[in-house]
Amino acid sequence: MTTPRPETLAKLTPVLTKRWLSPDAWQIGTYEQLDGYAALRKALKAHPDDLIQLIKDSGLRGRGGAGFPTGLKWGFIPQGDGKPHYLVVNADEGEPGTCKDLPLMTHDPHALVEGVIIASYAIRAARAYIYIRGEAVHAARRLRNAVQEAYDKGYLGRNILHSGYDLELVVHSGAGAYICGEETALLDSLEGFRGQPRLRPPFPATHGLYASPTVVNNVGTIASVPPIVLGGADWWKSMGTEKSSGPMIYSLSGRVANPGQYECSMGVTLRELLELAGGMQPGHNLRFWTPGGSSTPLLAAEHLDVPLDFEGVAAAGSILGTTATQIFSDQDCPVYATYRWLEFYHHESCGKCTPCREGNYWMVRVYRRILAGQGTHEDLDTLLDTCDNILGRSFCGLGDGATSSVTSSLQYFKQDYLDYIEGRTAPKLSEKTLVGAH
C-alpha cells in the first residue's frame, strides 16, 4: 500500500463528509455543535427568491448523475400558481458501484434534513418527501430518527423557528427497484403506482407529484445547500472547475487498497484518487474503470489523468454520472464484467419499451454464448447493432445506460472478445447457461 504525498492529501476537501468521523455525528446535538441548523436560521431570514439566486450563483449541479444546474431547476417552479409545491429527494441510490448517498444519510442525516428544509422554503413547498431505497434499512432508521429529532426541536412542522413557515417531511421507503431512481418512475412509485417512467413533457417542474410543481433532487445535491448558504457562492466556486463547481464525493471500489468515499474538488484525477486510496491492491495493475457507475462508458489506464468533472469526463468519451469509480485490474475480464452488468440491466428493465426490454434480454444471451466459448465473429456486430437500436431509442436512461459498457468494452478491449471466440481464453460459463441462447 502506498502512502499519499502531502500535495495529494491536500486534494481532499471535506465539506459534505466533514462530520462523518465525529462520534455520534448522526445525533442532533453533535450536528448542532458542528454548524448544524445555522444555515437554516440564516436562510429563513432571506427571501426565497434570493436563495434560488444563491444556488444559481454557486453553479451547483445535480449530484444524481445528469449534472443539471440546481438553481435553474428550482427556478422552473411556477410561483403564485395556487398549487401545492413538493420537494422530493431521490435517495434510491441503485446504480451499481455507487455508494455516496447511503453513507451520507447514515453518518450525517441532519445535513440532508437541513438541506430539505431550506430547499423547500426556497421553492415554497409545504411538504417534502425523501424516497429511500427499501433495502437501506439502517440508513432509513437513522434518517427517520433525525426527522423526529428535527420535529422535536422545532426545525420541522408548524411555524419553524417562529418564522411562520410550515413544512412536513415524510421518509418513504421504496420496494427496491433500480428504475424507481429515475425521477418520474420514482414519482409514480411514491403515488402508489408501479414504478415506470412517465412521458415528458410535461416535466415534474409543472406536473410532478400529484400533478403539481415538484423539484426532484439527489441526496448529495440537497445536502450541499446548507454549506452553500453558510459559505456563500464564491466559496463554493473556489472549489472545483469553472463549469463543475464545488466538492464531490467519489466512491472507490474494486481492486483498490482502501475502498471508500473520498471527497475532493471536482476535477481531481483517478491517479490522485488512487493515491489517496493507497494505490491498487498488491499484485494488481489498473486495466479498466467506470468514472460514474455501470451506466457510464468504461475508461482505460490511459485515462488516469482525465479531470473528473462533467466536462473532462465527457471529453474523454464517458460520463461523470454518480462518480462511482469501480476499479478493475489486469486480473479482471472486461467481457465478463460487462456481462454481469447486462444481467443487472436485463433484470431491472421495467419492460415498458421494446428496445430496452428485448435488447437487454438478447444481449445477455449473446454474452453467455461468447463466455461459454461458442461465440462467433458475427456476435460482435450483433451486439453493436443491438446497442444502436437501444441507445437514443429507449423510453428512459436505463436503456441507454445498459449499452455503455458494451460499446466501450468493444472499443477498448475487442481482443478479449476475440480471445473467447477464437479459443485462446478458456470459457468462463458452462454450456448449461446457454438454454435458450440460440
Does 100 sit near ligand FMN (CB under 6 A)?
no
Q: How far apart are CA 374 and CA 415, in angstroms?
A: 16
Q: Is 129 in the site for ligand SF4 (CB under 6 A)?
A: no
DSSP H or E stretch at residue 270: helix 270-276
Q: Considering CB distances under 5 to 8 angstroms, the limit depending on partner class, which of ligand FMN, ligand SF4, none binds residue 395?
A: ligand SF4
Closest CA to 38 of 98, 114, 92, 108: 114
Walk across the sheet containing 247-254 and list its strands: 260-265, 247-254, 324-329, 286-290, 299-300
**What DSSP assignment string belongs to 395-408?**
SSHHHHHHHHHHHH
Told to check if 109 binds ligand FMN by CB under 6 A, we report no
Contact window for ligand FMN (CB under 6 A) among 160-168, 169-177, 396-404, 414-422: 396-404
Residue with cell 422552473: 76
Judged by beta carbon distances under 5 to 8 A according to partner kind, the member of ligand SF4, ligand FMN, none in contact with residue 183 is: ligand FMN
Does position 115 interact with ligand FMN (CB under 6 A)? The reply is no
Name which of ligand FMN, ligand SF4, none residue 217 binds, using a CB cut-off of 5 to 8 Å depending on partner kind: ligand FMN
- Binding of residue 150 to ligand FMN (CB under 6 A): no
Choose among ligand SF4, ligand FMN, none what residue 350 binds, the Cβ cut-off being 5 to 8 Å by kind. ligand SF4
Kindly determine how many residues on this chain lie close enough to bind ligand FMN according to the rule CB under 6 A: 23
Report phi then psi at 219, rounded to 5: -55, -50
Based on the shown chain and the rule CB under 6 A, indicate whether residue 142 belongs to the binding site for ligand FMN: no
- Closest contact distance (angstroms) between CB of 107 and ligand FMN is 18
For residue 291 the three cell numbers come to 468514472
Residues 372-431 that bind ligand SF4 (CB under 6 A): 394-396, 398-399
320 SS3 class:
coil
Q: Give the pairing of strands 286-290 and 324-329.
A: antiparallel
Q: How far apart are CA 111 and CA 18, in angstroms?
A: 11
Identified binder of ligand FMN from the candidate list 10, 33, 49, 68, rule CB under 6 A: 68
Q: Residue of minimal CB distance from ligand SF4? A: 356
Residue 426 CB, nearest approach to ligand SF4 (Å): 34
As given in the structure block, the three cell numbers for residue 347 are 433484470
Interface with ligand SF4 in residues 178-217 (CB under 6 A): 179, 197
Least distance to ligand FMN, CB of residue 93, Å: 5
Segment 171 to 190, residues that bind ligand FMN, using CB under 6 A:
178-179, 181-183
- DSSP state string for 202-224: SPHHHH-GGGS-EEEEEHHHHHT
Give me the sign of the Cα torsion angle 300, 303, 304, 309: negative
Look at phi and psi of residue 79 and say left if phi exceeds 0, alpha if psi is from -120 to 50, else beta. Answer: beta
Q: Is 352 in the site for ligand SF4 (CB under 6 A)?
A: yes
Q: Which amino acid is it at 171?
A: V
Interacting positions 213-252 with ligand SF4 (CB under 6 A): none
Q: How many residues in the shown chain lie near ligand SF4 by CB under 6 A?
A: 14
Binding region for ligand SF4 (CB under 6 A): 179, 197, 349-353, 356-357, 394-396, 398-399
Binding region for ligand FMN (CB under 6 A): 62-66, 68, 90, 92-95, 178-179, 181-183, 216-218, 221, 396-398
